[in-house]
Homo-oligomer: A and B are copies of this chain.
Amino acid sequence: MKTNTTTIKEIAILLGISTSTVSRALRGLPDIKPETRNAVARVAQELDYQPNQLAKNLVKSSTKTIGVVVPELNFYFFSSVLISIEEAALQAGYSVIICQTHESYLREVNQIENLVNSRVEGLIISLARDTTHYGHIEKLIRKKIPVVLFDRHSEELNISKVIVDNIKAAFEATEHLIQRGCKRLACLAGPLNLLISNERVQGFKNALEKYNLPFYPEYVSHGDFSKEHSMLQAFNLMNLPNPPDGILTISDRIGFAALHALKQRGIKVPEEIAMVSFNNEPFCNYFTPSVSSISQPIQEMGKEAVNLLLKQIENESPIPETIMLKTQLVVRESSMRKVEEN
């Protein structure tokens, strides 16, 4: 493909001056006579000159670009955080390149490698479901490439992250269910090796413990967030000899599917089974019954992730920092059982 775009050299030849003068003129640097500056501007305009970003980046070895890697663009939570990341990055003069891993470890490794080869100045990553070892991330640290994790993090990695207190959030949600009179609590969790899922299960357990409620392993079931799997998880719970009267799901995706399953069985929510979910997606309002859910500070999360990253990029301060943001339980119909006074 012949590149039919105009270059700085063409402008230079056309005006009989050197490329350096053109370069300086275009960028408004001093030491350029107004006339030549105007002439350059005019010709550039006429030829619709657009600087070649590749060449620019190469010589400055700075791309003013950050890479963002998420499991799935399709998830409301991720696409929303992405929006705030882009917003914050843009304000700081950075642009972002977005990649998805489809929850695959291999893709994650690949995407990150590509981003690094494209010389992004830093990475904001939410780990894939299948990621269980972290050599690729550690390599980034060794190479001193700024990284920030958000949401899907790992305890093994001592790097900057912005997360929420999943244990506490799940604890509060479970506590809320208990206070609404639930005695037999179940938890629909995500994949077994997913830290945030396990943290939420931990919070769930903690609440049971505090209120002296028994914990039965069969009341905690693991799935992959898919609709089919989540519904199955719900059906299995209902098929237990002594079905639960309260459910915590660690994601709205799971929650909606589970509620759908309950509805199919004709189970009344919240009367027979109460439920609280995670993420507080807009659809929580639309569901019948509306879904109680834990709201994550999506806006803030993106903003803080970018801040943390820029700090690393600009100050080269390699001290890992963890920002733990607050969640908020939004109570709606799905958990509002009438509590008998006594």
Show the binding face of A for B, using Cβ within 8 Å: 1, 3-5, 48, 50-55, 57-58, 61-63, 72-74, 76, 79-80, 82-83, 86, 95, 97-98, 100, 102, 113-114, 116-119, 121, 139, 143-144, 227, 256-257, 259-260, 263, 282-283, 285-288, 316
- What CA separation (Å) do A3 and B63 show in the bound complex? 12
**Least CB separation from A86: chain B residue:** B100
Is B316 within 8 A of A288, CB to CB?
no
Is A118 within 8 A of B53, CB to CB?
yes
A261 to chain B, nearest CB (A): 11
Q: Which residues of B contact A282 (CB under 8 A)?
A: 227
Is B57 within 8 A of A54, CB to CB?
yes
A4-B143, A283-B256 known; A51 and B83 CB under 8 Å?
Answer: no
A155 to chain B, nearest CB (A): 26
**Least CB separation from A289: chain B residue:** B288
A55-B58, A74-B80, A283-B256 known; A98 and B98 CB under 8 Å?
Answer: yes
**Least CB separation from A56: chain B residue:** B117
Q: Which residues of B contact A95 (CB under 8 A)?
A: 114
Q: Point out the residue from B50, B58, B72, B287 that lies within 8 Å of A117, measured CB to CB.
A: B50
Q: Which residues of B contact A1 (CB under 8 A)?
A: 61-62, 121, 316
Copies in the complex: 2
**Least CB separation from A75: chain B residue:** B79
* A73, A256, A257 — most chain B CB neighbours (10 Å): A73
Is A143 within 8 A of B5, CB to CB?
yes
- What CA separation (Å) do A316 and B2 show in the bound complex? 11
Q: Point out the residue from B62, B73, B116 that lies within 8 Å of A79, measured CB to CB.
A: B73
Q: Which residues of B contact A259 (CB under 8 A)?
A: 286
Is A286 within 8 A of B283, CB to CB?
yes
Q: Which residues of B contact A263 (CB under 8 A)?
A: 288
Is A54 within 8 A of B58, CB to CB?
yes
Is B139 within 8 A of A48, CB to CB?
yes
A104 to chain B, nearest CB (A): 12
Q: Would you give 27 A-B contacts (Cβ < 8 Å), ordered by A? A: A1-B121, A4-B144, A48-B139, A50-B116, A53-B114, A53-B119, A54-B54, A54-B58, A54-B63, A54-B118, A58-B58, A72-B83, A74-B79, A74-B83, A86-B100, A97-B97, A97-B98, A98-B98, A227-B282, A256-B286, A257-B286, A259-B286, A260-B286, A263-B288, A283-B286, A287-B287, A288-B288
- What CA separation (Å) do A204 and B275 show in the bound complex? 40
- What CA separation (Å) do A288 and B52 show in the bound complex? 53
- What CA separation (Å) do A144 and B55 show in the bound complex? 21
Q: Which residues of B contact A76 (CB under 8 A)?
A: 74
- What CA separation (Å) do A283 and B113 show in the bound complex? 35
Q: Which residues of B contact A72 (CB under 8 A)?
A: 83
Is A119 within 8 A of B283, CB to CB?
no
